[in-house]
Structure 1
Amino acid sequence: MRLPAPPRPTTKNAGLGVAAISYIAIDYLLHVSPAWHSRLMPVLWIFLALAALARVPYYRHWSEEFRSLIPFVASIVFMLAALLYEAISVRSVTAVLGLQWHRNQPPLPDSGQWILLALNEKLPSAIVALLRAPIIGLHHYLMLFIMLAFSVLCDSVKAPGFGLGARYMFTMAIGRLLRAISFASTIFPSPRPWCADGRFRVPAHPHPWLQKYYIPYQSDHIAIRQVIRLDEAYGMFDIGKPVGEYRPNWGAMSFLIDFLRPTASEGPTWYSLLKKAEGGCNDLIYSGHMLVAVLTAMAWTEAYGGYSSALVWLLVAHSAQREVQERHHYSVDCVVAIYVGILLWKMTGFLWSNTVTYSDRRLAKLKKIEGRLIQASKDSNMDKVRELLKQLESSDEESTFSKGRANKYGRWFPFAVIGFALAVVLLAFTLTSDG
């Protein structure tokens, strides 16, 4: 017996926004009243889970989810590969210079830091406290997006949810790759000079490659002029014999030794070395946290809109000033992350778009064959007309085929989808538990 469709909500832009605000507010209680946080957060999780499960029998877009499953999985694989490359680069940019360089190198001048410090003197203490408050973090933005994707079950967001998720992760993977290339190209000193000592056990001396190509010319203006003129490394300074490096046996992955610069106390494998990382120090331009925040805001704005999207952008601005104020990043890191995130999101609409519909795709395909169709009609070539119309209907046949497969496995597919999505959620929160 077919279940009746529930009435469509009349306040589309209310429910999800209220849920998002409730989640952020309740999670902030962890800093204000841990006891109330421990009581209310499980209630919210249970409510959201039951609300999603209650909508599963009424969801009518499983065929679209089925078609988007492969791009979604491919985006996950791409994302994991990008994160691995980023993790290697994060350690490398700190390790290659050695701890001594990081101890002695002062932070760069940052006008954003100066402005925020000046505002602390001018603004009321309540506003200053609000700006300093840890209202939202990385895992909050991920949760906001997860809530957005699951809201397809309530028809608050255009299906498929896997399509939206694929676009989000694919865009983030590209952003992570560009970020790793950027901060590895030019290494900035950390706004927190003590960071490297606290997070990494890399050698104190610079890598032998830098002992030849950077250290002799890092500060002396005469040496810099000379190396520019000669355009080659020369022995102007006696830096002594390069200090040797510890080289464990990593087998096929031994090429990573020169990038990661392990020490004897950090474990036998390169993977265990990366697992111990608790964030970077010199992975600055641009901010990875701000990239996640901006992509979440862009997804929320396009998929859901309403006043809640304005609130998400306010939270992005709050996160940006905290990144600068707490000296996790320079101002330029946040500015670049904002416009890179916006531009990347605009470029990946082919995976999911709130504006592209089935009619739009069919019309676009019709426009491609319009000229040939008119010419075939003028020539009274009915065989050609039928051939072109078959091409136009091919997309419908593919859709019907996918829908048939989804219906064939309809008994288990919705539950498999929900289980898989929850597994991805748990994985995301596990990997970001340390911020």
Structure 2
Amino acid sequence: MKESSIKTEDLQMDNMERNSHSQQQQNNANAVQSKPKSCYIFAFIFLPPLLLYLCPSNSTALLSSTLKVRYTAYFLLSLPFCFMAHLFTQTHLPLQQRLVAASFASSSALNQVGSFGTCAFVAATVVLWFGLSSIPLDHQHSSIASNKANAKKHDDDDGADRTKSNTSLIQQQQLQTLLQDGKVRTILAGFFVTIALLTENFLVWVVSATYVPSHNDTPTPLQDNGRLVLQSLASLASFTKADLQSIRDALNVPWSLVSALATSLLCVELHMGDDCSKKRSLWGVVLRALMTLAFARMIRGISFSLTVLPSQIPFCYDRKFPNPPPDNWSEWIWVGLNPATNGGCNDLIVSGHATITSLFACICTSVSGNALFGICVWVLLSVDFLVEMYQGLHYSVDMFLGGVITSLLWKSFAHLEKDAHIGKNTKFVSLEHISVSDGIWYGVPTYVAFGVLTFGSSFMANGFIYLYLVCSVGVVVKNGGYSHYVQHL
């Protein structure tokens, strides 16, 4: 017995040694494999620029120092898209990380082979795909309709026995339940954003009309140290304004963010990806985004109204507003109610462009949850901001504060997603069972919006935004609740 127990212990020890030895060999193999990968990555990033700078500039067969700087800049700008393409090929990553990265990179890639309309068409197609893919099997009525039905049933049961005090108590409970519903809160947030934008539009005219030095002359702009630094850096590679604008158009970051945004919302609605993505609701994300946008635009309107900065654009007021301003109060107010489609002259702090694009970046990176994708997006968006700062369309502080304030507001409103939780048991219609009529009803507004934004004027685009809002309200009234089609609009 003792000998058998000793042999058993020896066998167990041998097995443990073999397992530990094999585990150590596996770890060594993984380490050996990981080292070349990291070396390849560093070599891919730093070796080409290093070779360009080590080349002797006095050789006629080799590149000049200016071209070295240019090619290095082009190479570094291409890296974020390479990393995004790499993320899409990683099958072990959650699905939403791969899809969001692919939509961003593909939108920018298609922009290289076509015009602005090509990239906008891709973004519109992604939006249509989102709408058709998220049609629920059971077109349930909204909480408003259910609350009305419950109230009616309660009325039938109680009849005339209900007192006036009980009626007011039930109405208060219904109102409280209604305000706690995520969909209703999101719709109310949409109206809040509309009010904030209309107020800001009027304030743009107020500060421009009351800043008298800009009416007949071009005031001296403030010293912008950020722009001076950018001009010095651009001179190293002999970049002109046209060159930098062509780079900005090639990157096409805003429309790439639109495509990534639509894909992000699709992943949230269809519960695609990891557990973190599946726990989020579309209405909660949209509510958080709308409140972020509303408060960002309110801060923007208050900021440029408190301190008026001179525009860096020569004769800006003459190009955008009537000079002299109307003396009649009705005409003066009417000018402020017209949409300032091309922006104002003194609505500088903070940048409206920076708030919108930063909000899109916050949504995309939040849904994706991939750190590498987030770094790539913010690097490309920073390049877009830098070009606008270099061109003098905004002061550097305007773009900087636009990104920072929007990001902080997005973080501070994270609790709204938890409060606006919507049920996750919705089943969706498969794309092969989509009817022709559904395709037409969902496709027409999508591609009409694409046509207006691509080929129409800015004034026409603003008109269609109001038309879409009216149509959404009309569908709500007709259906007695918030249908999926309203969500698509």
Residue number in structure 1 paired with 2:375: 310
SS of the residue aligned with 1:188?
coil
1:388 corresponds in structure 2 to: none
Is residue 326 of structure 1 aligned with residue 399 of structure 2? no
Change (3 A) 1:88 1:335: same
Whether contact under 8 Å (2:354, 2:403) holds in the other structure is yes
Cross-structure match for 1:22: 106
Q: How big is the shift at 1:52?
A: 5.3
What is the total number of aligned residue pairs between the two structures? Answer: 313
Q: CA deviation at 1:195?
A: 1.7
| 1:123 CA drift (Å) | 3.6
Q: CA deviation at 1:296?
A: 1.8
User: 1:283: Cα distance to partner?
Assistant: 0.5
Deviation at 1:334, TM superposition (A): 1.3
Q: Higher Cα Rg: structure 1 or 2?
A: 2
Equivalent residue number for residue 356 of structure 2: 292
2:265 maps to a residue whose letter is A
On the 8 A contact 1:94/1:196 being kept in 2, the answer is: yes
Query: Structure 1 residues 351, 431: CA separation in 2 closer, same or farther (over 3 Å shift)?
Result: farther
| CA pair 299-93 structure 1, distance change in 2 beyond 3 A | same
For structure 1, which segment, 284-293 or 148-157, has the greater mean C-alpha deviation from structure 2 after superposition?
A: 148-157
Give me the whole-angstrom Cα distance separating, in 1, the residues matched to 2:376 and 2:443: 26
Code of the residue aligned with 1:291 in structure 2: it is T
TM-score by length of 1: 0.60
Q: Distance in 2 between matches of 1:18 and 1:308?
A: 10
Which among 261, 272, 278 is matched to residue 145 of structure 1?
261
1:20 Cα shift?
2.0
**What's the offset of the Cα at 1:142?**
4.3
What amino acid does structure 1 have at the position aligned with 2:393?
H
- TM-score, normalization by structure 2: 0.54
Give the counterpart letter for 1:72 in structure 2.
Answer: T
Indicate yes or no: 2:405 matched with 1:340: yes
Indicate if the aligned counterparts of 1:99 and 1:196 stay in contact, CA closer than 8 A.
no
Q: Which residue identity does 1:133 align to in structure 2? A: R
Query: 3-state DSSP class of the match of 1:320?
Result: helix
Matching residue within 128, 134, 139 for 1:49 = 128
Q: Distance in 2 between matches of 1:323 and 1:424?
A: 29
Alpha-carbon shift at residue 80 of structure 1 (Å): 0.3
Out of 224, 243, 253, the position equivalent to 1:110 is: 224
Q: Does the aligned pair in 2 maintain the 1:290–1:316 contact within 8 Å? A: no
RMSD of Structure 2 on Structure 1 (CA)? 4.4
Rounded Cα–Cα distance in structure 1 between residues aligned with 2:190 and 2:406 = 18
Letter in 2 for 1:144: A
Deviations 1:337-385 (A, max 9, x none): 12211211111112226xx998xxxxxxxxxxxxxxxxxxxxxxxxxxx
**1:153-168 pair list within 5 angstroms:** 153=270, 155-156=272-273, 157-158=277-278, 159-168=280-289
Partner SS, residue 338 of structure 2: helix
- CA shift, 1:117, in A, is 0.9
Distance 1:281 1:144, change over 3 A: farther
Which stretch of the first structure deviates more once superposed, 328-337 or 144-153?
A: 144-153
Q: How far 1:301 moved relative to its partner?
A: 2.1
Runs of 5+ in structure 2 lacking a partner? 1-90, 147-180, 428-436, 462-489
Residue aligned with 1:275, SS: coil
- Cross-structure match for 2:298: 177
Aligned to 1:93: 207
Matched residue, 1:377 = none
Q: Offset at 1:50?
A: 3.9
Question: Which structure has more helix as a fraction of its residues?
Answer: 2
Alpha-carbon distance, 1:173 to partner: 0.5
% of aligned pairs identical? 24
